[in-house]
Structure 1
């Protein structure tokens, strides 16, 4: 698989192992950091000062999709030694970076560089991470006003669930998962990835199911890596033992796949093509590739649809978007004016951050690039960003404390963007005609705060209430009449309704 979620550290492995830690060593050498982590935790209960075990435990923490800052504790013990190995300063810099202790991270990276290490890749990485930490300090001064909603057990599992894609009206979501279902286990202890789909009913995502076997296989990895805004087309990455990985276009009719076409050689080259997206008018294809001739690493490219229906030769998006580092996961807005993508360059606060670039009609190119900000971006890799049509919600995968394990899928809410409102209106009637005043109170059922108080019109007895999506209690009171108390839910996604008619009838006591 060409695109990895878990980074692999370049480390100086220590050769000292005893027969007691043979299993841990074997798992570690195979890259099965999840199981090796468990083994080293058990081993350290028998000898909490073993330097080799502490070192490898830290490496395991840093190589799994969990709380990477847990590597701080074993590394602190190693840094108390008289002769500290330089690699441990580097690892501590990484651990402090994930722990949001950026000043201490920079200090440890500089300590590592002062030891004059031979490994040039680690030297470059340390310098890059010093810049990441400096960027992070600045970005965290101006956090974006957002909230995270974990999509819950119908979507997320104890395995990695990642790269969410929704269509404009959020009627369904597709994503990838490495769960133990219709998938073989790899040497790393993880399972091959498959594509899943979940439909929305009454505003809620239903239990996710495997997408068609036209895409998913048990022996290889498949991933959704792009989708147009309407959801009529998606881009699928299929791992291949011989070819190394290819991009395909999947076509949908009513959420069912009708056909799958492999992209031609102008897109699927001998190099790595990782992710792609297509514009809603089917005229532009953006994709990521590490082919020669770019600005360094993985770059973003654009193909235009030709009159004969084929794709043009790829054009590099240029130095405004691409850097000497990696750019990935392009996603074009429905109006074609904003390109979202991931990058290790620009002003990243650690690994991949999510950026956006606006189309400049004068220069005829995507130019000004802006970091999407913290906490959308974190010291972790932030790879895929999918904006819903109303610009109030977006979807990401992330490792967070409230998650189910590994990467989970979250729905982000931009608090500064006005929600869609539902108008509730109706007629209030009484079984006995009196002049008693009718009071209607709306309370948020989660916070128990009063949202608003209302009264029907004195002349026609009609009322109107405007509410954003959420759950509420509605209480209706009038002297001499029985009170009414109900719970109502204003749905969003595809279940959103702009207007609800709700008549109220009061009965006398």
Structure 2
């Protein structure tokens, strides 16, 4: 962490002064110079050139232990520091500090706090390090409380093909390819070679500056990272920020240091079309002021970190919106999010209201910068109190640049945790449950006018949509296949079905199965079909609550509303088994009884693909949407969102073609979703059904 770098530099200065009246050790002075420039391996090699320094000089031994710590060689550092603290002479106080750091990194929070307190006792009351050590003790206390929380994810290092002994950070998944990841790195071989603090070439003590890279996922493994084009990477720092212009524009920071640079936009031109200049970002985010940690949402909102005067202290998060053809003045996001510490690396999920960011606020963090989650509450016009994402997303070191993938199960972050290969490594997080915030709703607290933040954003000529033709609807369900069914002439006159209680009792005999409640709505209505489907879903919600009150968990209930060709409203229920093989049973299972009827279509097959068009949280009267074929509105009882889907296909290829058609007509967020026995199948579940439904392999490999 940055604090410990300053502690170490101060320690080196102190010892240099204390040796002023003594014969100087050339080797030690050279080693200190290497440590100050973060060349830890060189520092160790320099000191090891003298056996006497290594064996009997306590200062040299301490310096070697610090280098071991910085190189993630914790066991060697701990053994050397322990030997120094048991020596006859009083050890350097910083030995207790680094022992505390090692224990902190190993998540031994109580033991780490004890060593921090030992170091604290050696400091005079006015010592500048005292407040920072007290904050570390608070972080250990936070860690003690959070380590007993349920793990939400499995976190893995992305491996030596991606990470090095250098510094990898800022992972950004490609907006068009879920198997391609961009990132930035300070590593040997970068453009311009090693440079000193004044950016002059320095082969001995200089450090490389950051370049931009990408890696691809093949056969379940991330491949060797490759640098971006040489006209993007230069001798300066390049830091990849993200994408704009519907994924057609790459945003990146460029500068000789992290405080004075500029943010540019690249439009993925071919090599022979590139020039030596790129287009600056036309937004009130100032790279010249170090404002380079930003996130662009929907081309109309930018959230960024800044040290603007008038903030709450350190880096604060600000937002600026694009309105009426211009960017508004940035606004501080307020004291619920910001603190006297640093808040940085924001990520706004697809729902437009769930914000992730990192902070080192000692009231919330368990060590360094931690990833937090907060949700905007439109009714109260404020953000919810931030919640620490806990272990293993966070660690005792800096955890930043967190972003979720579109699949809702995968996340990426940069972390300096001590099990890594270098300073910061890239990690992938696999969540055990779908992150609902990755559903893109139609309505959000963020207005999104159709504009782009950069002048160079290309205009894509969209094909003119064809006039609607006859819209296919779901065939009338086969009544003799259902045990539970009721009809009504309108939703207002619909009576709560008497069979709900018996349905709940039957469901208890098949505790692993899901229940699917369906409301069929007449196609020929005067109003918009989208509004009627929403009303039907609201009615099914009351029925699902009855099932819950009779002992059926909400996670087992799936409700859906769709149109059919009859004049009455029809409500029915069926079971959706979670296993592909099951014994014959008396209850109706979609895809078994229903599929026998030649009148049924792909929607009633065991495996069906549809295309999600949008997510909503209120009624939508949309004529264009109502004209989509096989329009359906669905909701899992455990989810706050209703999701419109269209089409019904028996194979992934046909569904994917329909998805492209929807995107060309303006539904940019459309994507394919499989349904098994009428229930939505999340991507994380699909692999277990491959043997029975081989076409799912095409869905998983998209």
Alignment partner of 1:161 out of 154, 158, 168: 168
Among residues 80, 101, 104, which one is paired with 1:74 in the alignment? 80
Alpha-carbon separation, structure 2, partners of 1:119 and 1:88: 20
Contact 2:263 2:287 in 1 (8 A): no
Q: Does the 8 Å contact 2:165/2:422 carry over to 1? A: yes
Superposition pairs for residues 458-473 of structure 1, below 5 Å? none
More displaced, 316-325 or 466-475? Answer: 466-475
1:137 maps to what in 2? Answer: 144
Superposed CA RMSD = 4.2
Residue aligned with 1:112, SS: helix
1:191 corresponds in structure 2 to: 208
Q: Residue 268 of structure 1 is aligned with which of 280, 286, 298?
A: 286
Match of 1:221? 237
Q: Quick one: which of 295, 306, 314 aligns to 2:323? A: 306
**Structure 2 CA distance for partners of 1:171 and 1:473, relative to 1, 3 Å:** closer
Contact 2:27 2:47 in 1 (8 A): no
> Residue 349 of structure 1 corresponds to which residue in structure 2?
366
Give how far 1:189 is off: 5.5
Q: SS in structure 1 opposite 2:323?
A: coil
Is residue 2:388 matched to residue 1:389? no
Structure with larger Rg: 2
Asked if structure 1 preserves the Cα contact closer than 8 Å seen for 2:395 and 2:417, the reply is no
Corresponding residue for residue 98 of structure 2: 91
Per-residue deviation, 1:402: 7.0
Q: Distance in 1 between matches of 2:259 and 2:416?
A: 31
Q: Distance in 2 between matches of 1:233 and 1:161?
A: 22
Distance in 2 between residues matched to 1:20 and 1:253, nearest whole Å? 51
Q: Distance in 1 between matches of 2:142 and 2:359?
A: 14
Q: Cα gap change, 1:69/1:138 in structure 2, threshold over 3 Å: closer, same or farther?
A: farther
8 Å Cα contact 2:237/2:257 also seen in 1: no
Measure the CA separation in 1 of the matches of 2:327 and 2:157.
Answer: 38
* Worse-matched range after superposition: 128-137 or 254-263: 254-263
Greater CA deviation, 238-247 or 379-388?
Answer: 238-247
- Aligned residue number for residue 277 of structure 1: 295
Structure 2 partner of 1:180: 188
Superposition pairs of residues 348-387 of structure 1, within 5 angstroms: 348-387=365-404
* Superimposed CA distance per residue, residues 244-292 of structure 1 (whole angstroms, 9 cap, x where no aligned partner): 2233344458999999432458321753213001112x11111001121
Indicate the residue corresponding to 1:443 in structure 2: none
Q: Say if 1:190 and 1:212 are closer, same or farther in 2 by CA, change over 3 A.
A: same
- Which of 324, 327, 332 is matched with 2:343 structurally? 327
**Alignment gaps of 5+ in structure 2:** 197-204, 437-577, 585-591, 596-604, 608-675
Report the CA distance between 1:453 and its aligned residue.
Answer: 8.3
Structure-2-length-normalised TM-score: 0.56
Return the match for 2:313 from 279, 296, 309: 296
Tell me which residue corresponds to 2:625. Answer: none
2:375–2:383 Cα contact (<8 Å) kept: yes
> How many positions carry a matched residue from both structures?
449
TM-score for both structures, normalised by structure 1: 0.75
SS at match of 1:9: helix
Write out per-residue CA displacement over residues 318-348 of structure 1, whole angstroms, 9 at most, x where no aligned residue: 0000010001001111221111101001410
Structure-to-structure mapping, 1:243-258, within 5 angstroms: 244-252=260-268
Matches of 2:169 and 2:698 in 1, distance apart? 25
Distance 1:265 1:392 in 2: 32
Q: Shift of the alpha carbon at 1:397? A: 2.5
Judged with a 3 Å threshold, the aligned counterparts in structure 2 of structure 1 residues 470 and 34 are, in CA distance, closer, same or farther, namely farther
CA contact (8 A) 1:277 1:331 kept: yes
Q: Do 1:159 and 1:177's aligned partners in 2 also have CA atoms closer than 8 Å?
A: yes
Deviation string, structure 1 residues 167-186 (Cα, Å, up to 9, x no partner): 45514211012233342113
Alpha-carbon distance change, 210 to 134 in structure 1, aligned in 2, over 3 angstroms? same
Q: Deviations over 1:409-453 (max 9, x none)?
A: 22211123399xxxxxxxxxxxxxxxxxxxxxxxxxxxxxxx988
Q: Please say if residues 198 and 209 of structure 1, whose CA atoms lie closer than 8 Å, have aligned partners that are also in contact.
A: yes
**Counting strand residues as a fraction of each chain, which structure ranks higher?**
1
Unaligned runs of at least 5 residues, structure 1: 420-450, 477-486, 497-509
Task: Give the match for residue 9 of structure 1.
Answer: 7
SS of alignment partner, residue 356 of structure 1 = strand
Shift of 1:117: 2.7
Farther-moved stretch of structure 1 (11-20 vs 345-354):
11-20
Stretch deviating more after TM superposition (237-246 or 271-280):
237-246
Taking the aligned partners of 1:254 and 1:148, their CA distance within structure 2 comes to: 36
Q: Distance in 1 between matches of 2:105 and 2:217?
A: 35
Q: Distance in 1 between matches of 2:426 and 2:379?
A: 38
1:358 is paired with a residue whose SS is strand
SS at match of 2:373: strand
